[in-house]
Structure 1
Amino acid sequence: MTKARKYFGALALISGATLSLVACGNNKHTNSSNANKTNHKFSETVPVKSIKKGGTLTYALETDSPFTGIFLPELSDTTIDDKVQSPGLESLFSTDDQYKINNKGAATFKLNRKAKTITIEVKKGVKWSDGKQVNAKDVEFAYEIIANKDSKSQRYTESLADIVGLAEYHEGKSKKISGIEMPDGENGRKVVLHFKQMKPGMLQSGNGYFWEYAEPYHYLKDVPFSKLLSSDKVRKSPLFFGPFRVSNIVRGQSVSWERNPYYWRGTPNFEKVTASVVSSSSATQAIKNHKFDIADVVNTQWDQTKNATDTNFIGEVPLNYNYLAFKVGKWDKKLGKNVENKNAKMNNPALRKAMAYAMNIDAVAKRYYQGLAFRVNTLIPEQFGDFSDSSIKGYPYNLKKANELLDKAGYKKKGEFRVQPNGKKLTINLAVRNNATTAEPVWRNYIQQWKKIGLNVKFVGGRPMEFNNWVQAVQSDDPKIDVFEGGWQLSSEPSPNDLYSAAAPYNMARFVSPVQSKLLADIDSEKAFNHKYRVDAFRKWQKWMYNEAYVVPTTNSYSITAVNKKVTGWSVKPSATNWFSAGFVK
Structure 2
Amino acid sequence: MNKKKSFTLASITLSAGLLLAACNSSTTGGNTSVTGKDGKLDTSKFPIMVSSNKAPIKGGTLNYGLISDTPFQGTLSEEFESGAPDQEVLQFVEESIFSTNKNYEITNDGACTFTIGSDNKSITIKVKDGVKWSDGQPLTADDIIFPYEVMGSKDYNGVRYGDNTITQDIVGMAAYHAGKAKTISGLQKIDDKTVKISFNHVNPGLLTGIWSYAMPKHYFKGVPISKMATSDQVRKKPIGFGPFEVSKIVPGESVEFTANPNYYKGKPLLNKVILKVVNPQVVVKSLQNGDIDIAEFPSSSYKGNENPKNYKYIARLNYAYSYIGFKLGHWDAKNNVAVADPNSPMANKSLRQALGYALDMKTISQKFYQGLSFPANSIIPSFFSRYHDDNIKGYTFDPEKAKKLLDAAGYKDIDKDGYREDPKGHKLVLNFAGMSGSKVAEPLAQYYIQAWKAIGIHVQLLDGRLQEFNTFYDRVGDTGKDDPKINIYAGSWLTGTDPDPSGLYSKTSLFNFPRFVNNENEKLLQEGISAKAMDPNYRKQVYDQWQQLMFDQAPVIPTLYQYQVYGVNNRVTGYTADTASLWWYKVGVTSDKPATANN
Q: Is residue 299 of structure 2 the alignment partner of residue 299 of structure 1?
A: yes
2: CA distance, partners of 1:390 / 1:41: 26
Over 3 Å counting, the alpha-carbon distance change for 1:478 and 1:38 in structure 2 is farther
1: CA distance, partners of 2:59 / 2:42: 38
CA distances 1:180-204 after superposition (whole Å, capped 9, x unpaired) = 11011xxx01111110001111122
Residue of structure 1 equivalent to 2:523 = 518
Residue of structure 1 equivalent to 2:420 = 418
Residue of structure 2 equivalent to 1:284 = 284
Cα shift at 1:93:
0.5
1: CA distance, partners of 2:20 / 2:117: 43
Residue of structure 2 equivalent to 1:106 = 111
Residue of structure 1 equivalent to 2:500 = 495
Equivalent of residue 529 in structure 1, options 510, 530, 534: 534
Instruction: Please give the residue correspondences for 1:559-570 in structure 2 after superposition, counting only pairs within 5 Å.
Output: 559-570=564-575
Residue of structure 2 equivalent to 1:405 = 405
Stretch moving more, 367-376 or 194-203: 367-376
Q: Is residue 194 of structure 2 the alignment partner of residue 190 of structure 1?
A: yes
Counterpart amino acid of residue 458 in structure 2: N
Over 3 Å counting, the alpha-carbon distance change for 1:269 and 1:34 in structure 2 is farther
Residue of structure 1 equivalent to 2:560 = 555
SS at match of 1:154: coil
The 8 Å contact of residues 12 and 160 in structure 2, kept in 1 or not, is answered as no
Residue of structure 2 equivalent to 1:144 = 149
Residue of structure 2 equivalent to 1:26 = none
Instruction: Please give the residue correspondences for 1:258-277 in structure 2 after superposition, counting only pairs within 5 Å.
Output: 258-277=258-277
Cα shift at 1:515:
0.8
Q: TM-score, normalised by structure 2?
A: 0.92
Q: Is residue 208 of structure 2 the alignment partner of residue 230 of structure 1?
A: no
Counterpart amino acid of residue 78 in structure 1: G
2: CA distance, partners of 1:319 / 1:584: 28
Stretch moving more, 143-152 or 383-392: 143-152
SS at match of 2:384: helix
2: CA distance, partners of 1:33 / 1:219: 54
> Which runs of 5 or more structure 2 residues have no equivalent in the other structure?
1-5, 25-34, 592-599
Over 3 Å counting, the alpha-carbon distance change for 1:32 and 1:178 in structure 2 is farther
Cα shift at 1:303:
1.7
The 8 Å contact of residues 392 and 548 in structure 2, kept in 1 or not, is answered as yes
Q: Is residue 170 of structure 2 the alignment partner of residue 181 of structure 1?
A: no
Cα shift at 1:123:
1.0
Residue of structure 2 equivalent to 1:382 = 382
2: CA distance, partners of 1:277 / 1:542: 37
Residue of structure 1 equivalent to 2:482 = 477
Residue of structure 2 equivalent to 1:163 = 170
Equivalent of residue 43 in structure 1, options 47, 52, 57: 47
2: CA distance, partners of 1:267 / 1:225: 34
The 8 Å contact of residues 39 and 374 in structure 2, kept in 1 or not, is answered as no
Over 3 Å counting, the alpha-carbon distance change for 1:38 and 1:453 in structure 2 is farther
Residue of structure 1 equivalent to 2:460 = 458
Residue of structure 2 equivalent to 1:431 = 433
Q: Is residue 587 of structure 2 the alignment partner of residue 582 of structure 1?
A: yes
2: CA distance, partners of 1:267 / 1:295: 24
Stretch moving more, 451-460 or 299-308: 299-308
Residue of structure 2 equivalent to 1:334 = 334
Over 3 Å counting, the alpha-carbon distance change for 1:457 and 1:37 in structure 2 is farther
2: CA distance, partners of 1:356 / 1:244: 45
Residue of structure 2 equivalent to 1:123 = 128
Residue of structure 1 equivalent to 2:137 = 132
Residue of structure 2 equivalent to 1:21 = none
The 8 Å contact of residues 54 and 271 in structure 1, kept in 2 or not, is answered as yes
Cα shift at 1:40:
7.7
The 8 Å contact of residues 287 and 308 in structure 1, kept in 2 or not, is answered as no
Residue of structure 2 equivalent to 1:28 = none
2: CA distance, partners of 1:435 / 1:179: 44
Residue of structure 1 equivalent to 2:318 = 318
Counterpart amino acid of residue 133 in structure 2: W
CA distances 1:347-382 after superposition (whole Å, capped 9, x unpaired) = 111000000000121122222122222111011111
Cα shift at 1:37:
6.8
Over 3 Å counting, the alpha-carbon distance change for 1:250 and 1:230 in structure 2 is same
Counterpart amino acid of residue 369 in structure 2: Y
Cα shift at 1:86:
1.2
Residue of structure 2 equivalent to 1:74 = 79
2: CA distance, partners of 1:182 / 1:487: 39
Residue of structure 2 equivalent to 1:486 = 491
1: CA distance, partners of 2:413 / 2:43: 42
2: CA distance, partners of 1:437 / 1:37: 25
Q: Is residue 100 of structure 2 the alignment partner of residue 95 of structure 1?
A: yes
Over 3 Å counting, the alpha-carbon distance change for 1:258 and 1:103 in structure 2 is same
Counterpart amino acid of residue 203 in structure 1: L
Cα shift at 1:301:
0.9
Over 3 Å counting, the alpha-carbon distance change for 1:35 and 1:291 in structure 2 is farther
Cα shift at 1:108:
0.6
SS at match of 2:401: helix
Over 3 Å counting, the alpha-carbon distance change for 1:480 and 1:110 in structure 2 is same
SS at match of 1:150: coil
CA distances 1:435-479 after superposition (whole Å, capped 9, x unpaired) = 222111011011011111110001111111111110100112100
Stretch moving more, 304-313 or 448-457: 304-313
Counterpart amino acid of residue 567 in structure 2: A
1: CA distance, partners of 2:426 / 2:7: 48
Cα shift at 1:305:
3.1
Cα shift at 1:327:
0.6
2: CA distance, partners of 1:99 / 1:396: 31
> Which runs of 5 or more structure 1 residues have no equivalent in the other structure?
19-30
Over 3 Å counting, the alpha-carbon distance change for 1:39 and 1:342 in structure 2 is farther
SS at match of 1:352: helix
Cα shift at 1:143:
1.1
Stretch moving more, 341-350 or 236-245: 341-350
SS at match of 1:143: helix
Cα shift at 1:34:
7.8
1: CA distance, partners of 2:36 / 2:126: 37
1: CA distance, partners of 2:219 / 2:36: 47
2: CA distance, partners of 1:427 / 1:525: 43
Structure 1 consecutive aligned stretches of length 4 or more whose deviation exceeds 6 Å:
31-34, 37-40
The 8 Å contact of residues 332 and 338 in structure 1, kept in 2 or not, is answered as yes
Q: TM-score, normalised by structure 1?
A: 0.94
